[in-house]
């Protein structure tokens, strides 16, 4: 498909478990963002990659959250020792240019994480 693909679509984790969420951006897209959307809220920025470089991780809520994009395409968001407050939809978005270029963001359908 031509869109941003995220997997899994749903993930249930027991508190304390580690999880890994995958994002396949649109081929050739330079910029990749991760957002967290809590129930009833708008998406909140987590981190930004330009190619393989993580230029901003200021939105990551704690050191339990880690993101990587080693080859400048696929990205993984890892959450260690999950807590109930981590339950949310995690959205990945990509755009063709660098973020300053006004290229619109293309969002994936998200991964809904439920921590029990």
CB of 12 to other proteins, least distance (A): 16
Measured from the CB atom, the residue of 93 and 115 that comes closer to other proteins is: 93
**Measured CA angle at 27 (ends 21, 28), to 5 deg:** 120
CB of 16 to other proteins, least distance (A): 28
Nearest to 70 by CA among 109, 111, 26, 32: 32
Q: Render 40-63 in DSSP notation, one character per residue.
A: TS--EEEEEEETTEEEE-TT--ST
What is the token pair recorded at 41? 């809220």
Measured from the CB atom, the residue of 70 and 104 that comes closer to other proteins is: 104
- 3-state secondary structure (DSSP) of residue 86: helix
Contact positions toward other proteins, by CB under 8 A? 4, 31, 33, 35, 40-45, 48, 55-56, 91, 93, 98-102, 104-110
CB of 44 to other proteins, least distance (A): 7
Q: How far apart, in whole angstroms, are the C-alpha atoms of residue 93 and residue 107?
A: 4
Measured from the CB atom, the residue of 14 and 100 that comes closer to other proteins is: 100
Measured from the CB atom, the residue of 85 and 101 that comes closer to other proteins is: 101
């Amino acid at each position: 498909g031509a869109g941003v693909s995220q997997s899994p679509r749903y993930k249930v984790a027991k508190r304390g478990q580690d999880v890994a969420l995958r994002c396949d951006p649109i081929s050739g897209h330079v910029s990749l963002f991760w957002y967290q959307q809590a129930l009833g809220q708008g998406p909140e920025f987590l981190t930004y990659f330009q190619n393989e470089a993580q230029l901003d991780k200021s939105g990551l809520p704690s050191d339990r959250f880690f993101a990587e994009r080693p080859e400048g395409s696929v990205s993984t968001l890892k959450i260690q020792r999950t807590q109930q407050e981590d339950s949310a939809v995690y959205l990945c978005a990509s755009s063709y240019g660098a973020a300053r270029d006004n290229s619109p963001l293309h969002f994936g359908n998200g991964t809904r994480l439920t921590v029990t």
